[in-house]
Amino acid sequence: MYANKLGRLLSGLRGWRVAAVCGGIRSGSSWTAVCKQRRRSACPRTQNLTVHRRASVRSASQTTVDPDELRRFQSLASKWWDEQGEFAALHAMNDLRVPFIRDNLLNVHTGHHPGKPLAGLKILDIGCGGGLLTEPLGRLGADVLGIDPVEESISTAQLHSSKDPELRSRVCYRACSLEELSSVEVGGEEEEEEEEERQRAGQFDAVVASEVVEHLANPETFAFCCSHVLKPGGSLFITTINKTKLSYALAIVAAEQLFRIVPSGTHEWEKFISPVELERMLESNGFSVQSVQGMLYNPLSGAWSWTESTAINYALHAVRLRDDPPTA
Amino acid sequence: MHKVKKATMALNGLGRCFVAGKNVSVIKIVSRALVTVEPGEDPGNNGVYDVIISGGGMVGSAMACSLGMEPNLSGKKILLLEAGHKKVMDKVPDSYSTRVSSISPGSATLLSSIGAWDQITKMRCKPYKKMQVWDACSDALITFDKDNLQDEMAYIVENDIVVAALTKQMDSLPDNIQVKYRSKVVKYTWPMPHQAADSIPWVQVGLASGETVQTKLLIGADGSNSMVRRALGIPTVKWNYDQSAVVAVLHLSEPTENNVAWQRFLPTGPIAMLPLSDTESSLVWSTSHQLAEELLEMDEESFVDAINSAFWSNENQSEMIETAGSLFRSALSAIMPSAGSPRQLPPSVAGIGPKSRVKFPLGMGHASEYTRHRVALIGDAAHRVHPLAGQGVNLGFGDVACLTQLLSQAAFNGKDLGAIQHLLEYETERQRHNLPMMSAIDLMKRLYSTNAAPAVLLRTFGLQATNMLPSLKEQIMAFASK
């Protein structure tokens, strides 16, 4: 039971989104086990990506998606909303992440709406999966757009929220990746896209990327795309896993190798990112990190709690700095 | 679409019939399903309420007000379904009604927070400062009071007044709370915990009028014979006491500063006199079924005599018990010289009020589960107790306070109100409070239902000892005041 819950805690629920959210792609065909040789992603770590490179990278991703991974995820697509099932730990994580997002947003946006604390705010939920976090944010009054590259998850999410009249008007989903949404890849010849891009940029009050960053091959690009879609002064909320010996022991060895709860290779320890590293990356993309808070999962009670140590899981809140004119 | 609905509901009913093993005929279920949904009365996609409360008694109405006034739940759609008609009380009637309740300070706080307590005090309520409980078989007695008779211990309020006050409060919140009177529920349809593609994930409530309403959370406040609880098939521990309670309004012989509640344990059951005003009190006499029948049939004079003799006579005391009692008392006063109180006698009764005497059977009941997926039980639907401790409605109000607080927190966290996690928290918290209270009441009832010497000696000693320990009495009062 311990291993079960722990596995769920760290399971690659979004791991098989091999078409990683920001376009960085593995050139290999499938996930390899941690202990085996890892091939570095072929994606360059520069910010300026041309259309061609992106297009080729993306088409490569389509073909490099492991059919096993996809099938595994398709079979789990209906299980998102089983609160005692594979995703129980993610359901339980809402007890931490929803208040975290809500309270930090309320600090900034102090309009008083009893019953709908986040009314009037537009939020983007990246890697929304079945909508586990999207729905609570919608119930709190925000207009939420949930995106996820896996279509089956989006279908599940849409089906679940369509039953509730309150959510139908506030929550919508789209099967796409972040860079598709932010239209960073603007080719020179397409002026309309440029116009749309300008319109689409900077439209969200908050961006949420929960349990996503540890699956990206190119977090730098992700950070750039996030700053692109956020309004100046908008908030970015990330929850992810730290890159420490402890997280290796629990997330990789215990969950994947010893107990085989999570398919081998779902998480790659190399992709875990430490708060310091993430902070550096965000700050170089125009963010200011406001708070970092450790999270701990208790597999026996199935509940999460805040903790001092960020050694395994942590949550981070950053704010996109306003584009102030440079002082003389 | 309607045919599918009817078919599904019919199948649901059939399924429940087989699973729960109820003796409801299949034909009845099918015909009910065919009756409940009529074309043209489909509520449409806007007909999903956030909360439906089934049952508009004291506890159900309090729940509706409490939810309606909770800031975190503003904007939620709440519906209260009551089978009876609306109880409006423009002017308080001169005569008292026979059904009254003792409202503890904790319940008064809840009612005050939902704005109903002011209405109640404006209409009619009687605070009392002291309670004397004594045995018919011995001299033992115990008195409860707050220090120096400064504060009120609790309040005696007629049930009609509580409901009228809550109704008035609900009338002032038309945006949040909708009430349907004369709406009897004929059928409940429960959702599957896991969402199937075409199924409706909400609880569906079929009314006698043919309308069906849907809700994300159903709160069952429909009394000790709860249809919600039975429809869910929740196992209930229950038994009938071989007692009925006779209630009436008493006119006292002479006006007095009537602020003491009296209860005497007779071998046949406790008789209680609760103050209503300086000249009138309420009678609650729990006794055997046979004696209850006789009491109802007696003429007024004999009835009054029976009451007075029940409170005053000492015929049940044997010499041995008396000696033992005084021995205990002297022993205890050696240990604790200052404690103990003299026995006072209740005021004598001269007549009874114009409304007829009523009797109703007594029993104990406890639902093993208070909650299921999208359903919660509150009040007598979840727990039913003997009136000897005056706790029945107070436990219900405690449920209201707890559930409101948990639902408010859940809404503030963006949760689906019908999610099982916070409903289980409610169940755990309330069962932890209610079960000890219910066990104590049941124990008291059994202990005092006998004439047998050992039991009498035990309870005599126990009562006298407790009476001499102010700290223990304070604990008891605090527990009962929540």
pLDDT in tens, B232-252: 999 999 999 989 999 999 999
**Does A163 sit within 8 Å of B415, measured CB to CB?**
no
Over residues B193-216, the mean pLDDT reads 85
Distance of residue B373 Cα from the nearest chain A Cα, in angstroms: 12
User: Beta B78-81 vs B48-54: how paired, if at all?
Assistant: parallel
pLDDT value at residue B19: 41
State the Rg of chain A over Cα: 19
Q: Is the pLDDT score of A33 beyond 80?
A: no
The reply to whether A112 touches chain B by the CB within 8 Å rule is no
Nearest chain A residue to B414, by CA: A136
Distance of residue A116 Cα from the nearest chain B Cα, in angstroms: 8
Q: Is the pLDDT score of A36 beyond 70?
A: no
Over residues B57-72, the mean pLDDT reads 95
User: pLDDT tens digit string along A40-98?
Assistant: 333 333 333 333 334 333 433 333 334 554 555 566 677 788 777 777 888 899 999 99
| Poorest-pLDDT segment among A46-60, A226-240, B122-136, B288-302 | A46-60
Nearest chain A residue to B407, by CA: A115
**Does A165 sit within 8 Å of B413, measured CB to CB?**
no
Chain B hits for A115, Cβ within 8 Å: 71-76, 411
Distance of residue B480 Cα from the nearest chain A Cα, in angstroms: 32
* Residue B129 vs residue B402, higher pLDDT: B402
**Does B195 sit within 8 Å of A136, measured CB to CB?**
no
User: pLDDT tens digit string along A168-215?
Assistant: 999 999 988 887 777 643 444 445 555 555 455 678 999 999 988 887
Nearest chain A residue to B422, by CA: A95
User: pLDDT tens digit string along B398-448?
Assistant: 999 999 999 999 999 999 999 999 999 999 999 999 999 999 999 988 888
Mean pLDDT for chain B overall: 85
**Does A94 sit within 8 Å of B415, measured CB to CB?**
yes
Distance of residue B406 Cα from the nearest chain A Cα, in angstroms: 13
Of B72, B197, B202, the CB nearest to A115: B72
Mean pLDDT for chain A overall: 74
Nearest chain B residue to A84, by CA: B194
Of B46, B413, B416, the CB nearest to A98: B413
Question: Would you place residue B52 in the very low, low, confident or very high pLDDT band (cuts 50, 70, 90)?
Answer: very high
Distance of residue B53 Cα from the nearest chain A Cα, in angstroms: 19
Q: Whose structure tokens read 């995106």?
A: A147
Over residues B356-361, the mean pLDDT reads 88
The reply to whether A137 touches chain B by the CB within 8 Å rule is yes
| A positions 149-168 inside 8 Å of B (CB) | 159-160, 163-165
* Residue B287 vs residue A54, higher pLDDT: B287
Q: Global pTM?
A: 0.81
**Does B48 sit within 8 Å of A164, measured CB to CB?**
yes
pLDDT value at residue B288: 92
Over residues B152-177, the mean pLDDT reads 92
| CA dihedral sign, ordered B470, B473, B479, B482 | negative
Count contacts between A and B (CB, < 8 Å): 54
Nearest chain B residue to A133, by CA: B414
Q: Is the pLDDT score of B285 beyond 60?
A: yes
Of B197, B202, B414, the CB nearest to A136: B414
ipTM above 0.85, yes or no: no
Q: Is the pLDDT score of B453 beyond 50?
A: yes
Distance of residue B194 Cα from the nearest chain A Cα, in angstroms: 6
Chain A hits for B420, Cβ within 8 Å: 83
